[in-house]
Amino acid sequence: MKKIINNPENVVNEMLEGMVKAHPDFIERVEGFNVLIRKEKNNRKVALVSGGGSGHEPSHGGFVGYGMLDGAIAGDVFTSPTPDQVFEAIKNVDCGKGVLLIIKNYTGDVMNFQMAAELADMENIKVESVVMNDDVAVENSTYTTGRRGIAGTIFLHKIAGAAAERGMELKEVKRIAEKVISNVRSMGMSLTPCTVPAAGKPGFELGENEIEVGLGIHGEPGTHKDKIMPAKDIVKHLMEKILNDYSVSKDEEVAVLINGLGGTPLMELYIINDEVNSILGNKDINIVKTYVGNYMTSLEMAGFSISILKLDDELKELLGDKANTLAFKQF
């Protein structure tokens, strides 16, 4: 295993330290916990908390800040954070207007976040939660009952974050979050596996000319392996799966996220976007906003996912709101 780390057991701690030292104006760490919270607090809003295993950076700590999350919990690499860590985040960000938990649909995350919500309930903190399940590749999977939550979660952070920043009540923020979930679909593929530091070897294997189609962000198996093919054929397949899963009609508006999994050059992500743009253009679907980059990664995995978010006026307006976090800035 060739990685630029010290002790595999300390990667999460050292990463969090490095993040806080790089961005002390945006985030601070809750002492003794793997929890990052917003530095400049807004004490008159619903608080948003997300998190999950580490190894998906900048998710989720990179999205803590104005117009997005108030707190993020970093579990061990590819491992759900424990309920006490999630509870600590909740306690630190609640200002009396309640907390919305944004959970990706993995069995461990759902269970641990729900247990934290119960702990919070015992202390009379209002907590609601939503579960993202945007990955159209497979129903059920390693670690998951139902569909997995992947990069579409970024749209959820952005839009629910904007709703909260505008001062909407918990019930409203949750309604909007659920609309995002019902309007977003994603699917990915990879060229290479990745290596969890503590494991020391790749999580799965791929042949020299082989790709994994529809895999999860922890390297969970996708729909099938295939031979490497031109970008346009890969994109065509993923877009068919996404657009066959729900109805996006002519003249409707969408936002697009081309998400790199950590080891894919931006050059390739932009080539992918060129293809996605053509496919949507040929269907007269209007792209209002496009994001390209590493938003939810799988360590050093080479690969990408496409997320399509169908917009109505409300979602479009909130998506356009200002955000200012380490990894997502929009003005």
Residues with catalytic annotation? 56, 218
User: What is the per-residue binding string for its own copies in 126-155, x denoting contact by CB under 8 A?
Assistant: ------------------------------
Comparing CB distances to its own copies, the nearer of 22 and 111 is 22
- The least distance separating its own copies from the CB of residue 26, rounded to whole angstroms, comes to 11
By CB under 8 A, is residue 311 in contact with its own copies?
no
Comparing CB distances to its own copies, the nearer of 3 and 171 is 3
By CB under 8 A, is residue 300 in contact with its own copies?
yes
Comparing CB distances to its own copies, the nearer of 30 and 269 is 269
By CB under 8 A, is residue 264 in contact with its own copies?
yes
Whole-angstrom distance, CA of residue 292 vs CA of residue 154: 12
Whole-angstrom distance, CA of residue 75 vs CA of residue 86: 10
Nearest residue to 61 via CA among 330, 325, 331? 325
By CB under 8 A, is residue 288 in contact with its own copies?
no
Cβ–Cβ < 8 Å for 259, 270:
no
**Tokens of residue 137, six digits:** 């590749």
User: What is the per-residue binding string for its own copies in 54-83, x denoting contact by CB under 8 A?
Assistant: xx-xx---x---------------------
Residue from 36, 68, 234, 306 binding its own copies (CB under 8 A) = 234
Q: Where are the alpha helices (DSSP H) in the chain?
A: 11-22, 83-93, 107-122, 153-165, 170-183, 231-245, 266-282, 313-320
Comparing CB distances to its own copies, the nearer of 11 and 127 is 11
Enumerate residues 6+ apart whose C-beta is below 8 A from 55.
77, 78, 194, 196, 218, 297, 298, 299
By CB under 8 A, is residue 17 in contact with its own copies?
yes
User: What is the per-residue binding string for its own copies in 206-225, x denoting contact by CB under 8 A?
Assistant: --xx-x--------------
Cβ–Cβ < 8 Å for 34, 74:
yes
Report the DSSP beta bridge partners of residue 52.
74
Residue matched to tokens 């190894």: 55
Residue from 263, 316, 317, 320 binding its own copies (CB under 8 A) = 263
User: What is the per-residue binding string for its own copies in 188-207, x denoting contact by CB under 8 A?
Assistant: ---xx---------------
Count Cβ neighbours within 10 Å for each residue of 130-157 and write b for 16 or more, e otherwise. bbbbbbbbbeebebbeebbbbbbbbbbb
Comparing CB distances to its own copies, the nearer of 78 and 87 is 78
Enumerate residues 6+ apart whose C-beta is below 8 A from 224.
213, 214
Q: Which residues bind its own copies (CB under 8 A)?
A: 2-7, 11, 14-19, 21-23, 54-55, 57-58, 62, 191-192, 208-209, 211, 228, 230-232, 234, 256, 258, 262-274, 277, 287, 290-292, 294, 297, 299-300, 302, 304, 324, 329-331
